Each structure stands twice: as C-alpha cells, then as structure tokens.
Structure 1
C-alpha cells in the first residue's frame, strides 16, 4: 500500500464500513502467528488479546526452542 491507500484504509477501519484491508500473511509466517496478528487488529478492544495473553501464547510457541540448535544447523564444516 502507498501512503494514500494507508490513510484511506484507516478511514474505512474508523468508519467500520467493512471496506478495510488487512495486510496479507507474511511469507514464512506461521498461520498461528498471523491469526494472533488478526486478533490484535480487532476493532473491539475487549476482543483483542491482552499483553499477558500474547506473552503466554509466545512462550508456549517457544517451548523447547533452543537457538543453539539453529546455529549448529547453519555451521558449514569444510570437507577435506
């Protein structure tokens, strides 16, 4: 979207005329994360997740994640 389209889209969102456009799911973004993003963009405040809920969601997504494992997969070992 260019600047004018963003401003126009914000107007649609403000007027709640169902013409607003939500950003598409980014490449390599898991569906669960995109669904969370959509929840955060909800017009009704009480229907948006709280910061605590977002934190808990992200903690659950990261359970068992070890950045060292990812680094080990990226190390290139020269073949002699």
Structure 2
C-alpha cells in the first residue's frame, strides 16, 4: 500500500506542475502573438510549444488513468 501512496503523491505534484506549465505556455503564446508570431511568420516557437504541450498532455492523461486504476484496484481488495 505504500507504493500506491507514493504514486498518488507523485501524481498530485505532477498535476500541479502540469497546471503551472499550461499557464506558462498560455502566457508564452500571448507573448508570441503580441510580438507578431503567427501562422506563416516564424512558426518554429509555436510548433515547439505545441509539441511540448502535446507530450505533456499525453503523459498527464496516462499517469492519471494509471493512478485511477490503481486506486480502483486497491478499493476492491
């Protein structure tokens, strides 16, 4: 059961980091758009941000699903 508590705690902290990263990316997008980066004009920063957000989102969803299944399995025992 200690393993489950550690995983749940790590997931909670990861969720906070993920939320902070999304706020940071939103601020970065706003800054890029305000400085003239848009479709067709210097897309590399926006493309990089989209790739990082996509990877973080997949990891975020997978970790939360995994922890949810662990918790469900722990309740059934």
Question: Normalised by the size of structure 1, how large is the TM-score?
Answer: 0.34
The higher-RCO structure (CA 8 Å, 6+ apart) is 2
- Structure 1 or 2: larger helix share? 2
Max Rg structure: 1
Question: Normalised by the size of structure 2, how large is the TM-score?
Answer: 0.34
